[in-house]
């Protein structure tokens, strides 16, 4: 169990709190392509999430903060991935606690093909998010020659779960 502020209550309906490690480094000498490759490498190596935030460094230089969330036992391996991908000289490591909504994964069977859909909601309350998987939507739309919005709407209809429905 997590001994932190979030374990004392107030998060009813969420999945149990999860202890994670957040890795972060500032870089001001990488191209956009190299930054995208760094995020892809972190995700491929097992990061739960990875992202880039724009920043301004000393002397007003534009930069990026490359960050990743991982399990504590994966932090060393992912720090090495981050160093290799960006050439950074150091990585900040911080323990964090994450609370997340419970999720359901379904497959919508549309006229354009199967589309994975993720729904999330507050347990005992309502659905708060219904998201068709973007890669599936884009692939089906390209194959059918229709707009991605058409495939996304079809997937949402087929799965039959809407924001606000009981969870």
H helices of the chain, in order, are: 32-44, 75-86, 134-144, 148-159
Do the beta carbons of residue 47 and residue 75 sit within 8 Å?
A: no
98: left (phi over 0), alpha (psi -120 to 50) or beta: beta
Task: Note the pLDDT tens digit of each residue in 157-167.
Answer: 998 888 888 88
Task: Note the pLDDT tens digit of each residue in 85-128.
Answer: 999 999 999 999 999 999 999 999 999 999 999 999 998 889 99
CATH of domain 17-98: 3.30.70.1380
Cα 96 to chain centroid, rounded = 16
Give mean pLDDT, residues 10-36. 94
Domain residue spans of the chain? 17-98, 103-159
User: Dihedral of CA 47/108/99/52: which sign?
Assistant: positive
Task: Please tell me the predicted confidence (pLDDT) of residue 71.
Answer: 98
């Amino acid at each position: 169990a997590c001994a932190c502020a979030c374990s004392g209550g107030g998060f009813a309906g969420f999945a149990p709190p999860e202890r994670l490690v957040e890795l972060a480094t500032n870089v001001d000498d990488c191209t956009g392509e190299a930054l995208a490759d760094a995020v892809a490498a972190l995700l491929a190596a097992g990061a739960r999430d990875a992202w880039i935030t724009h920043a301004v460094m000393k002397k007003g230089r534009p930069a990026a903060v490359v960050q990743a969330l991982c399990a504590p036992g994966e932090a060393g391996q992912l720090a090495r991935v981050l160093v290799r991908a960006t050439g950074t000289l150091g990585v900040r490591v911080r323990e964090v606690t994450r609370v997340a909504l419970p999720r359901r994964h379904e497959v919508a069977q549309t006229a354009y093909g199967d589309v994975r859909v993720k729904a999330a909601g507050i347990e005992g309350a309502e659905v708060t998010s219904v998201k068709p998987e973007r890669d599936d939507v884009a692939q089906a739309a390209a194959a059918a020659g229709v707009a991605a919005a058409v495939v996304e709407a079809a997937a949402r209809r087929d799965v039959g779960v809407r924001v606000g429905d009981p969870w």
